[in-house]
Amino acid sequence: MTCPFRSGDLHARSSRRLPAGVTLWTSLLILATLIWGNSFIAIKHIVEYVTPLELVTVRFVPVALTFAALLLPTRGRQVWQVIRAESWRLALLGLVGAMLYNIFLGWGETRVAAGTASLIIALNPAFTYVLSVIFLGERFAWRRALGLVVAFGGLFTIIRWGSGHAIALDDMGYAFITLLAPACWAAYTVLGKMLVERHPPLLVTGISMTFAGLFSLAFVRPSLLAQLPALPASFWWSVLFLALPCTVFAFVVWFGALERMPAGRVAGFVYLVPMFAVTFSRWLLDEPITLALIMGAAILVGGVWLVNRR
């Protein structure tokens, strides 16, 4: 899971404040990216038992309840003001950036390795740049366009040869399904830009994710409630990890760091996510780390760096 909004879209004052607690927040950011890296492993385990759509339900219903417990007692009036002013925009954010993102990622991970999925998601800034040029009037730059080409070249290397053998055609289809997830997250970023300029980013994130959980309830199989008690403890630990540390804790840390550190420095921590994901996927899932995977990852991250560089 990457940051929901580009660093420059948040608080301009974040680049001017460097309190003494920077070391603490740096440590918390590393912990948050480690948690996000392991989210791909948790998702892969969860979709062994439920559908990708039900993944949204089991993840975001607990998230909605947690955000409500955190925000309503202290900022309840502000929450309702934001909902009244931006209800349809927040609903659209939840639909695209949380619900569809997780459906495509979960669907892809039914056949795609967790480490590979994390590298595909790392293309989020590339998609964000394309959508920003189209919808926000961001200036087109040939250097950044070259970064797009390089990043997708790295992605092709990962998908085609990263597993150590030529990937089957149907598995490649699942990789392209996974590719729709960062496209959704980029749309979430672009759509959310206007909202975070008017409202606190944490409120926008919490409310939009609550909408995602509510939307998913409309599509849940009636038999799911009967199935859930029989699922193993590992499923529930994965759900708990995905809902609380990965979604609530990590996003609270992210926005807290943006209040206290330069936004560009905070954004750089996102590059740790695929590194943690690939490393822990090797350790926990025995996924191979091949030379082609390493080369493809280096090319992809280099391309994304070119896209992000201003």
Least confident of 187-196, 262-271, 285-294: 262-271
- More confident of the two residues 162 and 205: 205
At 58, the amino acid letter reads V
- Give residue 164's pLDDT band: very low, low, confident or very high (50, 70, 90): low
Does residue 7 form part of some domain? no
- More confident of the two residues 171 and 37: 37
What's the structural domain count of the chain? Answer: 1
Q: Write down the pLDDT at residue 12.
A: 42
Q: Write down the pLDDT at residue 110.
A: 95
| pLDDT over threshold 50, residue 16 | no
Does residue 68 form part of some domain? yes
Q: Which domain holds residue 168?
A: 20-219+232-308
Instruction: Decide if 122 contacts 300 (C-beta within 8 A).
Output: yes
Does residue 183 form part of some domain? yes
Q: What is the mean pLDDT of residues 45-56?
A: 96
The Cα–Cα gap between 172 and 176 comes to 6
For the entire predicted model, the pTM comes to 0.88
Q: What is the mean pLDDT of residues 86-96?
A: 96
Does residue 9 form part of some domain? no
Does residue 71 form part of some domain? yes
Does residue 241 form part of some domain? yes
Of the chain, the end-to-end C-alpha distance in Å amounts to 23
- Give residue 4's pLDDT band: very low, low, confident or very high (50, 70, 90): low
What is the tens place of the pLDDT at every residue in 214-232?
999 988 888 888 899 999 9
| pLDDT over threshold 60, residue 17 | no
- More confident of the two residues 125 and 30: 30
Q: Percent of the chain having pLDDT more than 90?
A: 65
Q: Write down the pLDDT at residue 168.
A: 65
What is the tens place of the pLDDT at every residue in 68-87?
999 999 999 999 999 999 99
- Give residue 172's pLDDT band: very low, low, confident or very high (50, 70, 90): confident
- Give residue 169's pLDDT band: very low, low, confident or very high (50, 70, 90): low
What is the tens place of the pLDDT at every residue in 252-266?
998 888 878 876 678
Q: Write down the pLDDT at residue 8.
A: 46
Does residue 14 form part of some domain? no
Does residue 2 form part of some domain? no
